[in-house]
Amino acid sequence: MVVREKPVKVRHAEFAYYATPEEATRIKKFKGARTPHVRPDAVYVIAIGTSWEPESWQKVMDMVAYTNERGFCCWFREVEDSFSQLPYAAVNSMRDYACLTAHNAGFEWVLLVENDILPEPDMLIKLMNWNYPVVVPYCLDDKYGKPLAFPTYKPDLGLQPIEWAVFSCILMKTSVLHCFPESAPFREVLKETSFFKKLVYYGHKGMQDTSTPLKLATRPTFHGDTTDINDLWKFLEGKDKKRREVPNRRAIDPDSTSMVGDVYIPDSMLNAMGGRH
């Protein structure tokens, strides 16, 4: 008599691989639910343009390296200006392209940054830890000493709702992009309030992390900063010249950083690339 073992019904087989112990720890927070991305909390840092202010590139690279060192998958990319129009004319198209790039690459987060931010290395992780769909850091206007957002809050009040904020640095979950036609949230946006009103329309709310400050190398340009058409044209000529220059990616302190040609790259990123080239 042949005794056959009862077959084991297996609906599917699955193998999960985590790049770091930190990733495996974060997966457990979902308590059995599937994560929406292969790499949990993967974040794509995308710079809008290449007109870097001194030290800004270095600060952004240090932040990207620090984020990777803490067990997060963090990539970086620039969106180059097409030079086909006046300065700033295509900036929202560049932002939408950045959003699509991060979404199509399978990232859970996208951090849009401009070329004049001076972030601390841990800024991105602090923003991500809120796990909120749209978060901006606490930027101050050095000229007037007020936050570049509304309502204005005092520092160190945690996460607070806002009606608008400057576009210098915005962290978004890529799932938010599904709300917008063709995942283009900045289309037809003329000023900051328009974007945040769109968020409200789709059931989201912009938030500001008042406990995470962000310094800017230059003060943002506001409506009214130029007095007439001649003043505006002079301003645009200066910006057009700057965006056509070789990007300033040099280290501020060459003795304490790594240089690859004229490009600054943190030591930790060099090690990941296999050493100096």
Percent of the chain's residues with pLDDT above 90:
46
Q: How far apart are CA 33 and CA 15, in angstroms?
A: 15
Confidence of residue 259 (pLDDT cuts 50, 70, 90): very low
* 131: CB partners within 8 A, 6+ apart: none
For the chain, which domains are there? 37-272 (3.90.550)
Which tokens in the block code for residue 145?
């000493």
Residue 38 in 3-state DSSP? coil
- The better pLDDT of the pair 95, 35 is held by 95
**Alpha helices of the chain — where are they, by DSSP H?**
21-28, 56-69, 91-104, 123-128, 192-201, 229-243, 267-272
Q: What's the rounded Cα separation, in Å, for the pair 113 and 170?
A: 7
pLDDT for the residue numbered 90: 73
pLDDT digits (tens, 9 = 90+) for 154-208: 999 999 999 999 999 999 999 999 998 888 898 888 788 999 999 999 999 999 9
Among the listed ranges 20-34, 68-82, 145-159, 187-201, which one has the minimum average pLDDT value? 20-34
DSSP 55: T
Distance between CA atoms of residues 120 and 126, nearest Å: 10
Average pLDDT over the chain reads 82
What is the pairing mode between strands 169-173 and 149-150?
Answer: unpaired
Q: Is 149 helix (H, G, I), strand (E, B) or coil?
A: strand
Name the residue with higher pLDDT: 277 or 9.
9
